[in-house]
Amino acid sequence: MLKKAVILGCGAYLPEKVLTNDDLSKMVNTSDEWIRERTGIRERHVVSEGELTSDLAVKAATEALEAAGLTASDIDLVLVATTTPDLTFPSTAAIVQAKLGVEEGAAFDIQAVCTGFVYALSTAEKFLATGQHRRALVIGAETFSRILDWEDRATCVLFGDGAGAFVLEAQDSETAGDRGVMQSYLRCDGRLVDLLYVDGGVSSSQSTGHVRMQGNKVFREAVIRISQAMEKVMADAGVSVQDIDWFVPHQANERIILGVVKKLDLRREQVISTIAGQGNTSAASIPLAYHAGVSDGRIKQGDLVLLEAMGGGLTWGAALLRA
Ligand code: ACO
C-alpha cells in the first residue's frame, strides 16, 4: 500500500540585504515605475559577500524542522532544488545535510530552474510513497544574484535570493486522512532552451555564466502551459477549480500569475503573492510563498492548495496538495 507524503512544517529565509527598484535605477537604465508595471516587483533580497545557497537553505530548513516538531535525526532524505549550488560538486543537498547534522539516508540536488521545487516535491512524494524513506526535507534555495548580469536591465531587475523548505512525512492513509501531496505533473521541452539559459557552465566554458532570457517569448509560453499543467493535476485528482482554497504560484511576474488566475477562473484573493517584496527567487519562490500563507493564517490544515511553476528548460509543472 503506497504511503502519503504529508507536510508537517515549512520554513523560509530571506537574506537581510534589500535592493529596491530605486537602487537598481542607479545601476542600469530602468525605473521603479517600469519594474512595478511590468512585473509587480518593488524590491528583492540579495545575499552578502560570503553568504551561500546552503546557508539560506539551512536557515529555512531549521525553521521547517521546528514547525514540524522534529530534529535533524528524524530526516532521511534531503532534496535541494537549486540552480545556484555552492560548488559544482558535491551537491548543495550534501552540504546542507552536513550543516544540519542529518546522518541518515540520501541527499541530492534537483535542477529544473524555477520549476525546481515542483520537481523536488514530486520526487520526494514518490520516494516517500514507496516507504523507502520516512521523512524528507524538500528545500528550494537560490542565490540568483550571483548569476545575473548586473548590466542587463532586462534580467537583473527580475530576480532575488532566498530559500524555503517543507518537511514531509510518509504516513499511511489512516493517519494522513485526506492530507498530503495528491497529484503532480512535470514537463520539459528542451527545444526551448534558447528562451532562457545561462551562457556558461562546467563542460562548455568552465565558468558560471550569466542569465540570458528572451522574456517576452517566455511570457507568451507561460500562461497556456502553466494553465494546462494546473488543469491536468486537478483532473487527475478529481477536483474542480471551485474546490481550490489557495493558489501558490511561482513568482515570476504578477501579470503571468493574474493571466493564469483569469484563464482558470480562480479569484484574485486566492493567490498567495510575495513577488512585490521578493522578486523571482526561482526554485525558492513557491515554498517562500507557501510559508507566507501559513504564517499569516491563510493556509490552514486541510486546505486544498494548487502550486505551479515554469522556468528554464523550458520546464513547467503543477502540484496539488492538502495542507
Ligand atoms: N527597464 C526599462 N526598460 C526595460 C527593462 C527595464 N528593466 N527591461 C527591458 N526594457 C525595455 C526593453 O528594452 C524594450 O524596449 P524596446 O521596446 O525599446 O526594445 C521594452 O522594455 C519592452 O521589452 P519586453 O521584453 O518586450 O517587455 P515585457 O513587457 O515582455 O516585459 C519581462 C519583460 C518583465 C521580462 C516579461 O517579459 C516577463 O516577465 N517574462 C517572463 C519571465 C519569466 O517568467 N521567466 C521564467 C522564469 S525565470 C527562470 O526560470 C530562471
Nearest CA, atom 1, ligand 1: 30
Provide mean pLDDT across the span 200-228.
Answer: 95
Q: 222 in ligand 1 pocket by Cβ < 6 Å?
A: yes
Helix (H) or strand (E) holding 165: strand 162-171
Neighbours of 114 (CB within 10 A): 32
Of 125 and 221, which is predicted with more confidence?
125
pTM above 0.85, yes or no: yes
114 Cβ below 6 A of ligand 1: yes
pLDDT for the residue numbered 1: 86
Please say whether the structural domain 4-176 has been given the CATH code 3.40.47.10: yes
Mean pLDDT of the 169-174 span: 96
What is the Cα–Cα distance from 142 to 55, expressed in whole angstroms?
10
For ligand 1, atom 41, name the residue with the nearest CA: 219
Average pLDDT over residues 309-314: 97
Can you give the C-alpha Rg of the chain in angstroms? 18
Q: What are the b/e assignments for 182-220, b being 16+ CB within 10 Å?
A: bbbbbbbeeebeebbbbeeeeeeeeeeebbbbebeebbe
What is residue 186's predicted lDDT score, i.e. its pLDDT? Answer: 98
The whole-angstrom separation of Cα 301 and Cα 119 is: 23
pLDDT at residue 313 in the model: 96
Q: Residue 146: its pLDDT value, please?
A: 98
pLDDT at res. 201 = 97
Is the pLDDT at 72 greater than 90? The verdict is yes
Please check whether residue 279 is in contact with residue 251, taking contact to mean a CB–CB distance below 8 angstroms.
Answer: yes
- Has residue 224 got a pLDDT over 90? yes
H/E stretch holding 188 reads: strand 180-188
Q: Would you kindly state where each structural domain of the chain is located, as residue ranges?
A: 4-176, 180-322
pLDDT of residue 195: 97
Is there an atom of ligand 1 within 6 Å of 280 CB? yes
**Residue 211 reports pLDDT greater than 90:** yes
- Catalytic annotation on 280? yes
Cα of 4 to ligand 1 centre, how many Å? 41
C-beta of 157 in contact with ligand 1 (< 6 A): yes
Topology match between the domains 4-176 and 180-322: yes
Q: 180-322 maps to which CATH number? A: 3.40.47.10
Residue nearest to atom 22 of ligand 1 (CA): 216
